[in-house]
Structure 1
Amino acid sequence: MEVSFGITGKDFVLFASDTSAARSIVRMKSNEDKQKVIGKHLVMAYSGEPGDTVQFAEYVERNLRLYQIRNHLPLRPSSAASWTRNQLATSLRSRKPYSVNLLLGGFDPTNTTPELYWIDYLGTLGVVPYAAHGYGAYFALSTMDRWHKPDMNLEEGLDLLRKCVDELEKRFIVNLGEFTVRVADKDGVRQVNLKSGEAVVPV
C-alpha cells in the first residue's frame, strides 16, 4: 500500500511519497521517509519490500557519494539513473534480487533542465515528464495527463500534486496519511509543505 509521485516542471522536479509503514492491515509507523537525497540536486523516491528499499537506497547513496569523492564531480541525473538501473538489473540475475521500485531525478546544472526517471524492480528505465508508483498510479496518472504542462512553475506543480492526493483520498479505500514532498531545482533539494508550499525546516 505505497504511493510515490514525480512531476517535472519548467525548472524543477517534484517528489511525493506517503509516510505509512504498514504490514498487512496494521500501520506500524506514520512518519516514514521513503525518499533519499542522493546528491545536491538529486532525489530518489522508493517503494517495495521494506528491507530491500532502505538497504538499496543507502547503497545507491553511498556509491554515488564515493564516485563524487573519487572524481571530484557528482553524477548527472541521467548517469545516476543508468547506474542505478544497472545495479537493479544485476541483482535481478543473482540469488537475492532487490524488490524495489524507484523514481529518480533532479535538476541537471550542466544543461539547466529537470529530469525524471521511472525505474521498476525488473530494471526497466524510462525518461518521463511525470510518473507514479504503487496504487497511486491507478488513480493519478490520468490526472497528471490532463493537467501537466512542461512549462509549469512550482506553484502549479504543487497544485497538480494536490489534485493527485485529493483523488486518492476520494477514491482509494485506504487512508495513506501524510505525504513527504521534496523539490529539486537549481538551488538544490528542499522539503516543502504540500498544503502551503513553504519550505519545511528539518527538526
Structure 2
Amino acid sequence: AADGAAGRARAVKAPLPLESSRRRRSHGRGRSRRPLGSNPRSRASYHRATARRSASDPHQARAREPTAMDVLFAFTGDKFAVVVSDTTSVQQIIVQKDDMEKIMDLDSHKLLALSGPKGDCVYFGEYVQANMKLYELRNGVKLSTHACANFVRNQLAEALRKGPYQVNTLLAGYDKDTDSASLYFMDPYASMMKVNSGGHGYGGMFCLSLFDKHWVPGMTREAAAILVDKCIAEVRERLVTAPTKYHVKIVDENGTSCEVYDCVEKAAVKAVADSRK
C-alpha cells in the first residue's frame, strides 16, 4: 500500500513535458503571435515542402520546364498574314527531328503556330483544331478569327488553375466578311492581344526590333519576303545553334499556302549566282 501511495505521489509531482509547460506559461499573458511565415525555420520548412510537392506533381514540374528553343514569328500584310516557324525539335542539346510541323491549319483560312513542350503543343493544337471542325459541323458556319482567338484564350484560362498548357501561340487568319487578315498573340497565362507582328521563343525575340524598323501597314508580298529574309538572317547570326529549315505559311483570300525555306540551299544558290558575275 505504501509503495502504491508513493507511486501515485510521484505521478502527480512529475513535471509536464517541455512544450506543454511552455505553452501553459505563455497562455494568457497577452503575447502577440508572430505573422505567418515570420519564423525563418518555418519558412525553410514551407519551401522544402513546396519543392517536394512540386516535384511529385506533374503539372507543377511541367511548369518549370525551360522555354523551348523555337523560332516563331508572324506579321500581317495587305490582306494576308505570314507565319514562320523552324522545323527542328530539340530536347536540351539533342536534335530529335528536323521536319517538325509547328504551324497547324485550323481550317482553310486560319493558322495556329505553337511554341513550347512538344506534348502540350501537339495535344492543344489538335484539341483546338477538332473543336473548330465540330463547331462548323454543328452550326454550318466557321468561326471568325476573332472568335477563334477568344476560344483559344478561354481554353488556356480554364486550364491555368488545373493543368496549364505551357504553349505560346500565334493565331493568324483571313476573314472574308472584313476582307482583311489579322494576327493574335497569346501566352500560357491566357493573355491575348491583337497585334501587327509578334514572335515566340528565343529566335522570335531577335525579330521584334526588325519589325519595329521594317514593318509598315499594307505590306506587299515582295516586301514581306524581304522581311522574312531579314528575320531568318538575324536569327542565324545571333543563335549559336540556329535552325536551317523553316516553314513559311501565308493565309489570304485564297486559303493557306506553305513554302519550305532552306537556308543551306539558298546560300548555295546565292554562291553560284555570285560566282557567275
Answer yes or no: same fold by TM over 0.5: yes
SS at match of 1:27: strand
SS at match of 1:135: helix
Deviation per CA, 1:118-138, whole angstroms, max 9, x where unpaired? 000110101000100011232
| Aligned residues of 2:174 and 2:180 also touching (Cα < 8 A) | yes
Whole-angstrom CA distance in 1 between matches of 2:204 and 2:86: 13
Instruction: Go from structure 1 to structure 2 and tell me whether the alpha carbon gap of 1:194 and 1:159 turns closer, same or farther (over 3 Å shift).
Output: farther
Deviation at 1:177, TM superposition (A): 2.2
SS at match of 1:57: helix
Q: CA RMSD for the aligned pairs?
A: 1.0
Whole-angstrom CA distance in 1 between matches of 2:224 and 2:260: 13
1:62 matches 2:130 = yes
SS at match of 1:87: helix
Equivalent residue for 1:102?
A: 169
| Aligned residues of 1:11 and 1:153 also touching (Cα < 8 A) | no
| Aligned residues of 1:162 and 1:194 also touching (Cα < 8 A) | no
Whole-angstrom CA distance in 2 between matches of 1:55 and 1:193: 24
**Scaled by the length of structure 1, what TM-score is found?**
0.93
**Scaled by the length of structure 2, what TM-score is found?**
0.68
Equivalent residue for 2:154?
A: 86
Runs of 5+ consecutive residues of structure 1 not aligned to the other structure: 196-203
Deviation at 1:106, TM superposition (A): 1.0
Whose RCO is larger (CA < 8 A, sep 6+)?
1
Deviation at 1:39, TM superposition (A): 1.2
| Aligned residues of 2:70 and 2:204 also touching (Cα < 8 A) | no
1:28 matches 2:105 = no
**Higher strand proportion (structure 1 or 2):** 1
Whole-angstrom CA distance in 2 between matches of 1:138 and 1:183: 21
Residues 157-196 of structure 1 mapped to structure 2, 5 A cutoff = 157-194=224-261
Whole-angstrom CA distance in 2 between matches of 1:88 and 1:15: 21
| Aligned residues of 2:87 and 2:99 also touching (Cα < 8 A) | yes
**Higher helix proportion (structure 1 or 2):** 2
| Aligned residues of 1:158 and 1:194 also touching (Cα < 8 A) | no
Equivalent residue for 2:82?
A: 14
1:134 matches 2:201 = yes
1:50 matches 2:132 = no
User: Considering only CA atoms, is the larger Rg found in Structure 1 or Structure 2?
Assistant: 2
Runs of 5+ consecutive residues of structure 2 not aligned to the other structure: 1-68, 263-277
Whole-angstrom CA distance in 2 between matches of 1:169 and 1:3: 10
- The number of equivalent residue pairs is 194
